[in-house]
Amino acid sequence: MVYTRITAEPFDLELDTDSTALLIIDMQRDFVEPAGFGEMLGNDTSPLQETIEPTRRVLEAARKAGMFVIHTREGHRPDLADCPPAKLTRGGTTFIGEDGPMGRVLVRGEKGHDIVPELAPIEGEPIIDKPGKGSFYATDLDLILQNKGIKTLIVCGVTLEVCVHTTVREANDRGYECVVLSDCTGSYFPEFQEVGLKMIKAQGAIFGWVSDSAAALRVLN
Ligand code: C5J
């Protein structure tokens, strides 16, 4: 057990690095890279691209420290059998399963569904393929975390107000303590980024804590 404390808001969080995992949510080409699905929908992907380098530094330090690392991807089977019908009708002009700039949108096996190369998972790092916004819904994430004795999650990924928020809320309800790294998470909408972080740490950490990559690196190095 290695007890330490990460500088965070609304107050510093004590954690044991042996029961802490780094969870990197949906850092997929279609959301993050220019000329992907996100940009095709009219979004500016630059706030998401800015999260890659700090996340890469935290990932590298976590690997060196021997911390458990887990990645998620949002997407569906090629036949879309696992896609809730309501989700198929959302998205504006291009829908899940249709052809996008990097293959069929949010379909497993397509280029756009891949995690960006800078953060590519390595052996021993589970990848959770999830059909929903939350990483716990219809996945084995909780089982994997329980089997590893994980109690605390250091959370990175995109987008803050959608899959990161949903996952942190799900995790919080299951008893995990979540600390979200502000520069390792991004939104297409600056106002959602700002208020999304505030919502997590409001009312004495109602869903979790907010910290940043510098603080995480001090714990990991
Ligand atoms: C979205 C996600 N934004 N990973 N997915 O649809 O946040």
Q: What confidence tens digit (pLDDT) does each residue in 79-137 have? A: 999 999 988 888 777 889 999 999 999 999 999 999 999 999 999 999 999 999 999 99
pLDDT at site 45: 97
What is the arithmetic mean of pLDDT over 147-152?
98
Indicate the pTM of the whole model.
Answer: 0.98
Mean pLDDT, all residues of the chain: 97
Percent of the chain with pLDDT over 70: 100
Ligand 1: which atom is nearest the Cα of residue 157? 4
Task: For residue 26, indicate whether it is catalytic.
Answer: yes
- Report which protein residue has its CA nearest ligand 1's atom 4: 163
Domain 29-154 is of which CATH architecture? 3-Layer(aba) Sandwich (3.40)
Q: At what angle do helices 190-205 and 165-173 cross, to 10 degrees?
A: 20
Q: What confidence tens digit (pLDDT) does each residue in 33-49 have? A: 998 889 988 999 999 99
CA of 139 to the centre of ligand 1 (A): 16
CA of 2 to the centre of ligand 1 (A): 34
In angstroms, the Cα distances linking 158 to 114, 155, 191 are 14, 10, 15
Say yes or no: CB of residue 212 within 6 Å of ligand 1. Answer: no
Tell me the pLDDT band of 171, cut-offs 50, 70 and 90.
Answer: very high
HSE (CB half, 13 Å, CA atoms) of 104?
14
Q: At what angle do helices 213-220 and 52-65 cross, to 10 degrees?
A: 10
Task: For residue 163, indicate whether it is catalytic.
Answer: yes
Say yes or no: CB of residue 161 within 6 Å of ligand 1. Answer: no
In angstroms, the Cα distances linking 198 to 18, 203, 208 are 28, 10, 10
Catalytic residue among 30, 83, 114, 130: 130
Minimal CA–CA distance to 179: which of 197, 159, 203, 162? 197
Residue for token digits 């959370």? 155
Please report the ipTM that was assigned to this predicted complex.
Answer: 0.95
Ligand 1: which atom is nearest the Cα of residue 159? 7
Say yes or no: CB of residue 116 within 6 Å of ligand 1. Answer: no
Say yes or no: CB of residue 163 within 6 Å of ligand 1. Answer: yes
Where are the chain's structural domains?
A: 29-154
Angstrom distance (rounded) from CA 120 to CA 99 = 24
Task: For residue 133, indicate whether it is catalytic.
Answer: no
Handedness of CA 33, 113, 26, 145 (dihedral sign): negative
Predicted confidence (pLDDT) at residue 1 exceeds the cutoff of 80: no
